[in-house]
Amino acid sequence: MEKSLKTASLILLSIFISCSTLTVNAQSNPAFDSYLANTNLKFQMPAGYNQISTKESFSPTLRKIMSLMFSVVENKQKDIAIGIILIPVRTAFDKNLKGMFPNIDANQSYLNIVKYQADTSTFKVQPLGDHELKKVNADAGFRYQLDMNRLFLQKYSLCKVIIIHKKDIGDAEICYFYNPEHEELVKKEMSETANILTFQDISQFKPTM
């Protein structure tokens, strides 16, 4: 019980950090650009997708919440939406958080996110392979099924997530929302679009937070 509460607290802290300055607006999104800079990530719009407007946070279940999505893009022909969540590791909050919570390691937050979000009853959490990590210049990453019983955008009932981590830089979640009839299609889509977010060389890292 104590371990579960600790994990939940760490998740809420991550959400607080990532959402502290965010108002999502897909048409003009300076927050997205800012958080890309502060996670040293480069975003490439996947072919066939268009950015859609959303200002809502998403609670996949009654008791769980996710960080706000900085951008949501949708392919209406394939009936798949992709949500992007960015969480900087190096933020102005880190030193203050360390003072209040000395046992917190921001570089471990992504592991707690996986534990908190994953539905392991339907899909085993899979670590990304070395080739996949190298492709996006990440240090670690996982692929998992989101524990979800609510519709996203009033239409999508399922979600697969790829989470990537760069030590001392940040984390990113790429959330693929879809419906059961597109199970095989979304797997193919994940393979073809997994590099829409790529960590840049450290020489490009110019955090503003």
| The pLDDT of residue 7 | 52
For the chain, how many structural domains are there in total?
Answer: 1
In a domain, 98, yes or no: yes
Whether the per-residue pLDDT at 21 is higher than 50: the answer is: no
Average pLDDT of the chain is 85
| The pLDDT of residue 99 | 64
The string of pLDDT tens digits covering residues 156-206 is 999 999 999 999 999 999 999 999 999 999 999 999 998 999 999 999 998
Prediction pTM value: 0.83
Q: Do residues 118 and 146 touch, judged by C-beta distance below 8 A?
A: yes
In a 13 Å sphere around the CA of 7, the CA atoms on its Cβ side amount to 13
In a domain, 57, yes or no: yes
| The pLDDT of residue 28 | 58
In a domain, 43, yes or no: yes
Structure confidence at residue 90 as a pLDDT band (50, 70, 90): low
Q: Do residues 23 and 69 touch, judged by C-beta distance below 8 A?
A: no
Domain that holds residue 84: 2-204
| The pLDDT of residue 22 | 37
Four-CA torsion 112, 61, 18, 198, nearest 10 degrees: 70
In a domain, 56, yes or no: yes
The string of pLDDT tens digits covering residues 104-124 is 788 888 999 999 999 999 899
Q: Which two tokens stand for residue 154?
A: 């009033």
Task: Read off the DSSP letter of residue 78.
Answer: T
In a domain, 189, yes or no: yes
d(CA 120, CA 125): 7
In a domain, 145, yes or no: yes
User: Residue by residue, what is the 3-state secondary structure of 5-30?
Assistant: HHHHHHHHHHHHHHHCCCCCCCCCCH
In a domain, 28, yes or no: yes
| The pLDDT of residue 29 | 78
Whether the per-residue pLDDT at 94 is higher than 70: the answer is: no
Amino acid at 40: N
Least confident of 4-8, 79-83, 147-151: 4-8
Q: Which two tokens stand for residue 170?
A: 């940040």
- Tokens 């997994």 sit on residue: 194
In a domain, 52, yes or no: yes
